[in-house]
C-alpha cells in the first residue's frame, strides 16, 4: 500500500470531495466524462469543496492505488462506474478489499434485482448476484431505475464513500434522491452556491458578453458566460447561507440582464425553447402543427420532450421526399420544380398546408440542406428556410445560412431551435 504523508500538505479542515470515475472506456476516450461534470456542478451547488477528480481504468491494482491517494487528501470519495454485473465491474470489490471489509450479500438488493428482471420479463443471471454484495457496514444506495445499487459507507471514521453506477440517468437520480439528503444530514456543504442560468437565442456569446461586460466584475453575485448547444448562457451565482439570501442577491442582476438582452433572452434554468413555446401556446389557448423536411422529425421530437405537450401540439408531417410535400401538404408541384424544395415558397406552402390540414392556430415548417451532400453554389449546405403560418392566415418565411463546417447534426439542431425561436418571438410573453 502506498504510504502518503499528505496530512501535512492537506490540513483536515480543507479536505473536500474527490470524484473518482472508474472505467477503461474513459481512458480510451470512448465516452465523454459527463458524470464528472454533473457531480462537480452538484458539489458546487451544495457548497462542498471539490479539489480533485481522478479517472482510472477497470484494474484493481490501479484503482486501489487511486483510493490510497484519495483517502489521504479527501474526506468524501464519490465513485462512478464499475458496479455492473460483469467481471470488469470491480469497484465495490476493490474498495472492500482496500479497507479489508468482507463483502456481504444483501437479500433486499437481490430481491430488488430479481423483481426488476421479472418486471421486464427476463430471468436474472448468476452474474447479477454479485451486484447484491456490499462491504459489511455499508448502507445500500438504492437504484430505483437500474439494477446496480450503490452504497453509502463510512469506511473509516470521517471518510465517507459513495458509489454510483456509470449510467448517467441512474447516477443522477440516485444522487438527487438519496445522496444529497444524506450529505446535507451529515453537515457537508455549509455555504452552498445558488445560481440561475439564463438562456439566450439569437445572439452570439461575444456580442452578449460585450453588452453585459461590466457585470463580469461583480463578486456577489458573480456572472459568468458559457456556451451551450448553439445557445448562449449566463450563470448568475451567489454563495449564501440560505437560498432566499442568495436569490435576493441574484434577482436584481437577473432582471438587469433580462433588460439588456431583450427578446434574445428566452428562459432560465430548465427552460428550453420547446418548453417556453409550449407555455406561451398553452397560455394563449393556441395549437401548433409542423411540417419538417431536413430535420426529419427533430422539431416534433423536441416539442414533445415536454410532458403534456399534447395540449397544444397536434402533430404534423415529415415530408422528407418531395412526393410527401405534394400529397400530404399540398405543395404545388410546379413550385417544387421551379424553385426547388429548399425555397421560401415551399417553406411557406408547407407551413400553410399543415396548418390548414390539421386545423391548428400555427403551422411551422423547415426545409433545408443538412448535408454533407446535396449543396450547390446557389444553395449551399446549411441553407435552411423556415416557414410560419399564423392565425390570421398570414404566412412568412425566413432564410438561414448555418454554414457547413460543423456538420449535419449541428445544422439540423440549429434549424429546429431557430424555428421554435421564430414562433416564440410571435407569441406573447407570459
Give the binding range for a copy of itself (CB under 8 A) out of 37-45, 133-141, 179-187, 249-257. 37-45
Q: Return the number of the residue (87 or 187) whose C-beta is nearest a copy of itself.
A: 87
Q: 40 vs 159, which CB is nearer to a copy of itself?
A: 40
State in angstroms the smallest separation of the CB of 378 from a copy of itself: 16
**CB under 8 A: which stretch of 47-55, 150-158, 245-253, 332-340 binds a copy of itself?**
47-55
Relative to beta strand 159-164, strand 150-156 is antiparallel
Candidate segments 151-159, 218-226, 264-272, 343-351, binder of a copy of itself by CB under 8 A: 218-226
Report the site for a copy of itself in 132-161 (rule: CB under 8 A). 144-146
Nearer of residues 137 and 330 to a copy of itself, judged by Cβ: 330
Return the residue matching grid coordinates 424555428.
Answer: 419
Question: Is 110 among the residues that bind a copy of itself (CB under 8 A)?
Answer: no
Chain residues 229-288 in contact with a copy of itself, contact rule CB under 8 A = 235
Residue from 13, 100, 125, 190 touching a copy of itself (CB under 8 A): that is 125
One of 47, 267, 296, 340 touching a copy of itself (CB under 8 A): 296
83 torsion bin: left (phi>0), alpha (psi -120 to 50), beta (else): alpha
Interactions with a copy of itself, residue window 86-105 (CB under 8 A): 86-88
Closest distance of CB 178 from a copy of itself, Å = 15
Contact status: 52 vs a copy of itself (CB under 8 A): yes
Binds a copy of itself (CB under 8 A): choice among 210, 269, 270, 334: 210
Stretch that binds a copy of itself, among 94-102, 248-256, 293-301, 361-369 (CB under 8 A): 293-301
**Residue 389's closest CA among 421, 348, 417?**
348
Residues 55-74 that bind a copy of itself (CB under 8 A): 55-59, 61-62, 65-66, 69, 73
Residue 57 or 137 having the CB closest to a copy of itself: 57
- Name the minimum Å distance from CB 186 to a copy of itself: 21
Among 225, 267, 330, 340, binds a copy of itself (CB under 8 A): 225
Rounded CA-CA distance 216/1 in Å is: 47
Report yes or no: 178 and 189 within 8 Å, Cβ to Cβ.
no
Binding of a copy of itself by 379 (CB under 8 A): no
Contact flag: residue 207 with a copy of itself (CB under 8 A): yes
Give, as ranges, the residues between 315 and 344 that touch a copy of itself (CB under 8 A).
Answer: 315-321, 323-324, 327-328
- Quick one: which of 304, 345, 396, 426 contacts a copy of itself (CB under 8 A)? 304
Window of 90-98, 101-109, 164-172, 276-284 that interacts with a copy of itself by CB under 8 A: 164-172
Among 12, 13, 100, 120, binds a copy of itself (CB under 8 A): 120
Closest CA to 285 of 305, 314, 311: 311
With cell 438582452, the residue in question is: 261
Q: Do 178 and 141 touch, CB atoms closer than 8 A?
A: yes
- In the window 170-199, what residues touch a copy of itself (CB under 8 A)? 170, 193, 195, 197
Amino acid at each position: 500500500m502506498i504510504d502518503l504523508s499528505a496530512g501535512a500538505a492537506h490540513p483536515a479542515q480543507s479536505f473536500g470531495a474527490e470524484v473518482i470515475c472508474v472505467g477503461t472506456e474513459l481512458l480510451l476516450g470512448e465516452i465523454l466524462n459527463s458524470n464528472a461534470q454533473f457531480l462537480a456542478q452538484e458539489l458546487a451547488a451544495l457548497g462542498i469543496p471539490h479539489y480533485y477528480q481522478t479517472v482510472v481504468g477497470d484494474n484493481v491494482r490501479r484503482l486501489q492505488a487511486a483510493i490510497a491517494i484519495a483517502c489521504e487528501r479527501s474526506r468524501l470519495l464519490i465513485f462512478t462506474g464499475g458496479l455492473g454485473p460483469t467481471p470488469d465491474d470491480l469497484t465495490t470489490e476493490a474498495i472492500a478489499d482496500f479497507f479489508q471489509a468482507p463483502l456481504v450479500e444483501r437479500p433486499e438488493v437481490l430481491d430488488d434485482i430479481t423483481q426488476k428482471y421479472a418486471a421486464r420479463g427476463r430471468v436474472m443471471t448468476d452474474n447479477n448476484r454479485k451486484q447484491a454484495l456490499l462491504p459489511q457496514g455499508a448502507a445500500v444506495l438504492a437504484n430505483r431505475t437500474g439494477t446496480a445499487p450503490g452504497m453509502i459507507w463510512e469506511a473509516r471514521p470521517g471518510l465517507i464513500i459513495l458509489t454510483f453506477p456509470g449510467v448517467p440517468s441512474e447516477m443522477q437520480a440516485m444522487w438527487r434522491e438519496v445522496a444529497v439528503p444524506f450529505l446535507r444530514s451529515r453537515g457537508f456543504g455549509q455555504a452552498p452556491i445558488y445560481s440561475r442560468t439564463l438562456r439566450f437565442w439569437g445572439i452570439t456569446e461575444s456580442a452578449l458578453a460585450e453588452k453585459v461586460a461590466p457585470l463580469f466584475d461583480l463578486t456577489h453575485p458573480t456572472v459568468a458566460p458559457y456556451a451551450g448547444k448553439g445557445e448562449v448562457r449566463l450563470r448568475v451565482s451567489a454563495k449564501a447561507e440560505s437560498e432566499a439570501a442568495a436569490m435576493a442577491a441574484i434577482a436584481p442582476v437577473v432582471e438587469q440582464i433580462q433588460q439588456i438582452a431583450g427578446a434574445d433572452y428566452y428562459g432560465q434554468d430548465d427552460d428550453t425553447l420547446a418548453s417556453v413555446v409550449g407555455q406561451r401556446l398553452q397560455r394563449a389557448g393556441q395549437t401548433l402543427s409542423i411540417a419538417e423536411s431536413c430535420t426529419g422529425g427533430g422539431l416534433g421530437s423536441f416539442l414533445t420532450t415536454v410532458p403534456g405537450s399534447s395540449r397544444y401540439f397536434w402533430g404534423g408531417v415529415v415530408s422528407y421526399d418531395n412526393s410527401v410535400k405534394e400529397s400530404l401538404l399540398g405543395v404545388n408541384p410546379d413550385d417544387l420544380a421551379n424553385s426547388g424544395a429548399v425555397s421560401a415558397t415551399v417553406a411557406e406552402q408547407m407551413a400553410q398546408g399543415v396548418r390548414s390540414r390539421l386545423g391548428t392556430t400555427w403551422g411551422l415548417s423547415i426545409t433545408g440542406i443538412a448535408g454533407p451532400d446535396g449543396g450547390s453554389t446557389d444553395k449551399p449546405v446549411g441553407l435552411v428556410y423556415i416557414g410560419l403560418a399564423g392565425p390570421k392566415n398570414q404566412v412568412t418565411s425566413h432564410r438561414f445560412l448555418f454554414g457547413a463546417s460543423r456538420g449535419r447534426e449541428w445544422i439540423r439542431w440549429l434549424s429546429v431551435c431557430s424555428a421554435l425561436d421564430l414562433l416564440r418571438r410571435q407569441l406573447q410573453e407570459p
